[in-house]
Amino acid sequence: MRYVGDVGGEAGRRHRRLTPTPAEWTSSRSSSPPPPGILPPVLSAIDHVGIAVEDLDASVSLYRDTLGISVVHRETVTEQGVEAALLDVGDSHLELLAPLGPDTAVGRFLQRRGPGIHHLAYRVASIDETLSALAASGMRLIDEHPRPGIRGSRVAFVHPSSTGGVLTEIVEPAH
């Protein structure tokens, strides 16, 4: 009996030859370039959702006092032009971002679109390997090299034109 999505016959054999499993691709990736369009399983979890805010204290108060979400960290991240607060939601976080000035990425975002969801961040084991894999797959990177993120993490951004309009961050947490 066939399951839905099974590709049988000659087409199926051809499909299987051309499409390595992620495990096959991962095990061979040091010795050969990736096939187009195939990524290894590098994005292990949603690390956080970044939210642009006008007033960090007011937003912290909303999430902590009204919604009952604990604030676990607060930090000025000069490299990203923000003052940020991290809040725990299960294994993931909300990252509230207030701009340090109007001429910063989040400052410009607020002027253009107002407060709201700014980016989606995936946790990865190795940001260097993930950046190489994303670059090899043809994605447009904002950061060719990792930069400092909140709580000693290393982060990099992928351009939303490569990710369906979603500004995408990858995060390697501090070890």
Instruction: Give me the residues that bind Co ion (CB under 5 A), please.
Output: 50, 95, 121, 169
> Considering beta carbons, is residue 51 or 133 the nearer one to Co ion?
51
Please report how close the Cβ of residue 124 comes to Co ion at its closest, in angstroms. Answer: 13
C-beta nearest to Co ion: residue: 50
> Considering beta carbons, is residue 25 or 157 the nearer one to Co ion?
157
CA angle 86, 90, 92 (to 5 degrees): 50
**Measured in whole angstroms, how far is the alpha carbon of residue 154 from the centre of its chain?**
12
**Measured in whole angstroms, how far is the alpha carbon of residue 85 from the centre of its chain?**
17
Please report how close the Cβ of residue 75 comes to Co ion at its closest, in angstroms. Answer: 12
Please report how close the Cβ of residue 23 comes to Co ion at its closest, in angstroms. Answer: 29
Residues sharing a CB contact under 8 Å with residue 2, sequence separation 6 or more, in sequence order: 8
Please report how close the Cβ of residue 13 comes to Co ion at its closest, in angstroms. Answer: 43
> Considering beta carbons, is residue 40 or 50 the nearer one to Co ion?
50
Strands (E), the chain: 45-52, 71-77, 82-89, 92-99, 116-123, 147-148, 154-158, 168-172
> Considering beta carbons, is residue 122 or 137 the nearer one to Co ion?
122
What gap in Å lies between CA 91 and CA 6, rounded to an integer? 35
